[in-house]
Amino acid sequence: MSIIGIIAEFNPFHNGHLHLINECKRLTGADKCIVIMSGDFVQRGAPALTDKFTRARMALSCGADLVLELPVYYSTGSAEFFAKGAVSILDKLGVVDYLCFGSECGDIESISAVAKILNKEPKTYKDTLSKELKKGFSFASAREKALCAAIDGDKAKIKDIISSPNNILATEYVRALLAMKSKIKPFTIKRAGEDYNSEVLSKVPSALSIRNAIFENDKSKKIALNTLKGSMPKAALDLLLSEETGLVKPNDLSELLHYKLLQSSNTDLTEYVDVTEDISNKITKNLDKYEDFESFCMKIKSKDITYSRISRCLIHILLDIKKDNMTEYISDSYTGYVRILGQKASSKDLLSEIQNNSKLPVLNRLKDAPHKLNPLQMRLFEESLCAGRVYNIVNTQGYQNEYRLKPVIM
């Protein structure tokens, strides 16, 4: 059996994701597709548009065979931690042949060349980086010059790889595979359709354009149905616009976040992942001007600190995601477990392969967690469950108690 792994958010699932699964299965000759997917909070520092079980159903309806949950410490992390957390779990399954992903360049050799330099940091790279930083260039600019000095090849392509969203993530996936000396082979296809940040709703759109279409009409699903036809597979669109599906946007968390920030106003916010002393001071200084989640992000962001960075920091504060805990997980080779969100009924052979080969405990029933997980795994598991409970305070149509739920079977 040949198996591909895909790391995803599916926020929500659209035609570009369908193309990725179908093309990667076809080109690799794979029989099965395992997706490791962010739970209820995503990497840009925001709640997912809809809950993880709905998004797992979308994936299973459109070509995935098994969907696993990426723990919250990794799903809301920077590109490096997002990639390493997910790759670590896929690697320890012991069954994945290819890690598949889309990229703007579609060139695995160039991506791998950049990844190797960033992992090894040869003398030419380090010397050039140091020299450019001393000249006053930003880290991004200095790193670009250092990479160009250390790699023989198309300089324009190198610049594109370290400046385009999917290329950056692709590079982090390959870096993680190399660092872990994984047997999984990286495989990329050229991203189809609109750019990652495009707001144009087309046949192969960005997830951003779909989220915008949903909320432009104050969550009017009837209007969204007509707008989104052709941009999403029918099965995914039907699930998204079902009356049983709740929709969540960042500002739905505004009151919860405001309370947590007020509660933490006399504490050192640098204990939370990604929060520097500068960001902590800016949050405290502007707290009296707080109106809602999104406007507060805009108030704190600056030329040197992106909106996404601020948004991630605020989500980490809200969910109590702390640096000390992250350090422990990283030191433990990225603590993980196999939490099944959903599967195809025809995937019993795949699950059997995982049970026989996985170096991580497999959770089909959550009540088995205390017996299967070690203390560090159990803490990460409980923190991910807590994030889900926070999400469902604002998602009134979401799931209630995860312990009462069984994995989705289709």
Task: Supply the pLDDT for residue 222.
Answer: 62
Residues 7 and 127 in one domain: no
| Coil, helix or strand at residue 177 | helix
Q: What is the DSSP string of 315-374?
A: HHHHTT-BHHHHHHHHHTTS---EEEEEE-GGGHHHHHHHHHH-SS-EESSGGGHHHHS-
Dig out the tokens for 123 from the structure. 């003398």
Q: At what angle do helices 277-286 and 307-318 cross, to 10 degrees?
A: 80
Structure tokens at 382: 């409980």
Query: Residue holding tokens 């990286």?
Result: 186
Instruction: Compute the half-sphere exposure of residue 216: CA atoms within 13 Å on the CB side of its CA.
Output: 14
Q: Is the pTM of this model over 0.85?
A: yes
- Please compute, for residue 31, the number of CA atoms within 13 A of its CA located in the half-sphere on the CB side: 8
In a domain, 91, yes or no: yes
Mind listing the pLDDT tens digit for each residue in 334-377?
999 999 999 999 999 999 999 999 999 999 889 999 999 999 99
24 and 95 housed in the same domain = yes
Query: Do 51 and 142 have their domain in common?
Result: no
Q: Are 60 and 344 in contact (CB under 8 A)?
A: yes
306 belongs to a structural domain:
yes
Does a structural domain hold residue 401?
A: yes
Q: Is the pLDDT of residue 53 over 70?
A: yes
Of 94-98, 145-149, 247-251, 379-383, give the lowest mean pLDDT range: 145-149
Which tens digit of pLDDT belongs to each residue from 182-225?
999 999 999 988 888 888 888 999 999 999 888 876 555 666 66
Residue 81 lies in a domain: yes
The CA distance from 239 to 247, in Å, is 11
In a domain, 183, yes or no: no
200 shares its domain with 131: no
Token couple for 66: 């098994």
Two tokens at 68?
A: 């696993």
Task: Please tell me whether residues 218 and 147 are part of one structural domain.
Answer: no
Q: Does the residue 197 lie in any domain? A: yes
Number of domains in the chain: 3
**Are 100 and 120 within one domain?**
no
* Residue 48 DSSP symbol: -
Q: Is residue 392 part of a domain?
A: yes
Domain's final residue, options 308, 326, 344: 326
Yes or no: say if 110 and 371 are a contact pair by the CB < 8 Å rule.
Answer: no
Q: Name the domain boundary from 268, 298, 326.
A: 326
118 in the same domain as 263: no
pLDDT in tens, 250-285: 999 999 999 999 998 888 899 999 999 999 999 999
The residue range of the domain holding 381 is 3-104+189-248+334-409
Distance (Å, whole) CA 192 – CA 218: 29
Q: Is residue 73 located within the same domain as residue 44?
A: yes
260 and 244 within one domain: no
* Residues 122 and 226 both lie in one domain: no
Does 244 share its domain with 341?
A: yes
**Do 372 and 269 sit in the same domain of this protein?**
no
CATH of the domain at 78: 3.40.50
386 lies in some domain? yes
Are β-strands 41-42 and 46-47 bridged in parallel, bridged antiparallel, or unpaired? antiparallel
